[in-house]
Structure 1
Amino acid sequence: MDIILKNVKKKDFPVFQSLAKSLGFEIIEENEKPYNPEFVKEILDAEKSIEEGKGIKMKIEDLWK
């Protein structure tokens, strides 16, 4: 059986660790990454290119043409 604890405060985590260790449980920490790193890089590169003036301007009406 798996038990998942979410939003555990940093100060409370040692208490859970100690309890789990005393009961013989295995602790696996997984840090969630909300975004794909490649996607983030692509967005940051696009923002940088716009700042460098490499972007184009379009009218909203032209988006559906």
Structure 2
Amino acid sequence: MRQATIYITDNEYSHFIELAKNLHYVKRIETDEEPINDTILENIKAGLEEVKLFKKGKLKTTSAKDFLDEL
């Protein structure tokens, strides 16, 4: 299998991605947006883990008032 890198203007980007998705011989499309989505999911998972630790009493948090005072 071969791969290609294509540089395209922002105006034509979404049209080109839709076109590539409809080509039967295209097996996989990687965009620069995917790592951002992965980062978001990892941050959500980490946040949920912190909530679980807080509920178990293994993690201390600051009060909302203290948090807002720091801002």
Tell me the TM-score normalized by structure 1.
0.40
Structure ID, larger Rg: 1
Would you tell me which structure has more helix in proportion to its own residues?
2
